[in-house]
A and B are shown apart, each in its own frame.
Chain A
Amino acid sequence: MQRSARRKRQGFLSPALWVPAGLALALLGLPLVALVVRAPWSQLPELLAQPSVGSALALSLATGLMSTAISLVLGIPLALVLARSAQWAAVPRRLLRALVTVPLVLPPVVGGVALLLLLGRRGLLGQFLPFQLPFTTAAVVIAQVFVAMPFLVLAVEGALRASDRRFETAAATLGASRFTIFRRITLPLVFPGVAAGALLCFCRALGEFGATITFAGSFPGVTQTLPIATYLQLQTDPDAAIALSLVLMIISAAALVSLRDRWVPGVTA
């Protein structure tokens, strides 16, 4: 009885599936094990003390935070529009969703090329700009926003769809304007989703490589972020590249842990 009850809860799992599942796990986990095992632990302090490492780390953190902030300011309203687009006509609704989702599936290099064609010196909009945008720190941020903001938008949109809109109605009966409702009711109620989305967005921005190197290049201290520095170091100083990879991995792991422990979607007590 007990056993069948347990089986009912857990469903069936054929032993044959353990093999591919194990292979999948190995594929996901073993590279990270190799990275940790092969890391030049004894030289780590000197490797990380190099000025080029420090400047790449500082640039990555600064641009990552900046693009996350921009994604929050622009992405939350977009998520709201997306979540409330249910009663729109099919064509504009699907177009909107496609536009938000495309950067997730588009190779980042293509995103970088597209940004150059829009904002480059002779780009669609770039030709009218009084300053040059590509190959600047601002270009790094724009490239990161392009690839990372959809993560935030979709996370916040999911939280908005799951939240009870009748709280907004209740606030309206109390005399709250639409913006007050957004600021004091809607936004706090989806805070777990916003936090999770911001974290995903930050991690994606931190790891950005393809769009950044295409649109912003690789100038040390200006556009050479951690992933780009890691890739370039691999050709000249592999130990330094491993050290940089470790730093990126630790930041990601820290983000993952805080994501799981603190911001499980749902109402915060």
Chain B
Amino acid sequence: MSVAARLRLARGAFTLDLELVVTVGRTLALLGPNGAGKSTALGMLAGMIDLDSGSIVVGGRVLDDDSTHVETEHRRVGVMFQDYLLFPHLSVLENVAFGARSTGVPRAAARGAALEWLDRLGIADLASSRPPQLSGGQAQRVALGRALASDPKLLLLDEPLAALDVEIREEVRAELGRHIREWGGPTILVTHLFDDVVALADDVVVIERGRVTQRATVRELVQAPATSYVSRLVASWSDD
């Protein structure tokens, strides 16, 4: 199972032309400055934004091409949103069980599976809490559990550490990396933080102004940055 996408879109002066390939068990980072088109690409992969042309194939199933558009609710593309978007009126357990419940799994079975996920993520004790009561790190784990419990064929992480205080990012990031590797499915990480790339990704696609400026493994990126944007990121990262 793998993911291959060619994303093309023009909106006024902005054009996006992007080719992404993710193989099983690897995490691809989509790295770029603000306004580079990262969020647009994520929206296209999740089916929220239509492509002008191109295609998206996940695990052999065509989600988008010239004649196909699979709606968001049928794509099985899980998203962990930047600010998590946990449903504030549902408990943590009901949040994680939401995907299964929505696809017709009986309540008891959905809750059982959700509890297993919470247990795996080490937050079973939060099952009956409400999202507004959670710390940032806890909310992130619930959001990850909710996305993974819906059994996605592709996982998208949208700026996963951006909503957290700087002091706890390191710890949460390591934890997140462990859980994603444990899950083992194809993952695309959208970020502007180089620390995220180093800790979570295997391969990197750098986009600037809607275009790919470098395609490399993390190690190659550090050794040979292709643009001034990447070299600045690498330089400030190695300073830390």
Contact B85 A267 (CB under 8 A): no
B240 → A minimal CB distance (Å): 33
A101 → B minimal CB distance (Å): 30
Place the interface of chain A in its size category.
Answer: 20 to 34
Contact B87 A185 (CB under 8 A): yes
Contact A175 B79 (CB under 8 A): no
Tell me the bound Cα distance from A175 to B85 in angstroms: 15
Nearest-CB residue, chain A, relative to B85: A170
B220 → A minimal CB distance (Å): 32
Interface residues of B in 69-115 (CB under 8 A from A): 71-79, 81, 85, 87-89, 98-99, 101-103
Binding stretch for chain B, among A49-57, A114-122, A142-150, A176-184 = A176-184
Tell me the bound Cα distance from A172 to B87 in angstroms: 13
Contact A174 B102 (CB under 8 A): yes
Tell me the bound Cα distance from A166 to B75 in angstroms: 17
Nearest-CB residue, chain A, relative to B83: A166
Contact code string A44-79 (vs B, CB < 8 Å = 1, else 0):
000000000000000000000000000000000000
**B147 neighbours in A (Cβ, 8 Å):** 173-174
A171 within 8 A of B: yes
A205 → B minimal CB distance (Å): 28
Place the interface of chain B in its size category.
Answer: 20 to 34
Nearest-CB residue, chain A, relative to B130: A269
A186 → B minimal CB distance (Å): 11
With contacts A174-B150, A175-B73, A269-B130 known, is A167 near B99, CB below 8 A?
no
B58 within 8 A of A: no
The one of B46, B73, B75, B89 that contacts A176, using a Cβ cutoff of 8 Å: B73
Contact code string B217-228 (vs A, CB < 8 Å = 1, else 0):
000000000000
**B48 neighbours in A (Cβ, 8 Å):** 169, 172
Contact A174 B81 (CB under 8 A): no
**B146 neighbours in A (Cβ, 8 Å):** 174
Contact A176 B102 (CB under 8 A): yes
Contact code string B113-156 (vs A, CB < 8 Å = 1, else 0):
00000000000000000101000000000000011001000000
Contact B85 A167 (CB under 8 A): yes
B85 → A minimal CB distance (Å): 4
With contacts A169-B48, A170-B85, A267-B88 known, is A177 near B102, CB below 8 A?
yes
**A173 neighbours in B (Cβ, 8 Å):** 46, 72-73, 75, 77-79, 147, 150
| 5 pairs, CB–CB < 8 Å, chain A vs chain B | A170-B85, A174-B150, A175-B99, A176-B99, A184-B101
Residues of B within 8 A of A (CB): 46-48, 71-79, 81, 85, 87-89, 98-99, 101-103, 130, 132, 146-147, 150
